[in-house]
Structure 1
Amino acid sequence: MSSERGNVSRTRPQRHQNAHAFRNDKYDTSARRKKINAKLHDGVCQHCKGILEWRVKFRKYKLLTKPKKW
């Protein structure tokens, strides 16, 4: 879809459909990945909780190396 002003309707369907959902533990079965997947995000606001869960789901989450103030 172009960024041209007023061009907001598509004339064809989506080319590729996702056949399978993304799995963040498909190739990485390490203890670290299991620990990240099992982690509960309590004590944070709903917005931050959603962000953290998204990051875990798509393998963008990294454990902190040092404790951090919230």
Structure 2
Amino acid sequence: MSSQKGNSSRSRPQKHKNSVAFRNDKYGATIQVKIANSKIHNGLCQRCKDVLEWKVKYNKYKSLTQAKKW
């Protein structure tokens, strides 16, 4: 067991592995996904930019209905 005390290495490889990367437009992109993919995030700090790019990449991005105060 991997959580066993003092056992730092496993004797077998990982059971399930991802064979393909996630794509947010795999089965035909909706209009919102197309807009999110084409959007360029400029004028943001690096952390905010990374968060928004991650959200777009994994289909978690929701566009704001009203502009947010910065």
TM-score (norm 1): 0.82
Task: Give the direction of change, closer, same or farther, for the CA distance of 1:65–1:9 in structure 2 (3 Å limit).
Answer: same
Equivalent position of 1:15 in the other structure: 15
Kindly provide the CA deviation profile for residues 13-54 of structure 1, in whole angstroms up to 9, marking residues without a partner as x. Answer: 111111111000112422211001111111111111111111
Task: Give the direction of change, closer, same or farther, for the CA distance of 1:19–1:69 in structure 2 (3 Å limit).
Answer: same
Aligned length: 69
Distance 2:60 2:24 in 1: 10
5+ residue gaps, structure 2, are none
Give secondary structure in 1 for the equivalent of 2:69.
Answer: coil
Distance 2:40 2:30 in 1: 18
Distance 1:18 1:49 in 2: 26
Distance 2:43 2:55 in 1: 17
TM-score (norm 2): 0.82
5+ residue gaps, structure 1, are none
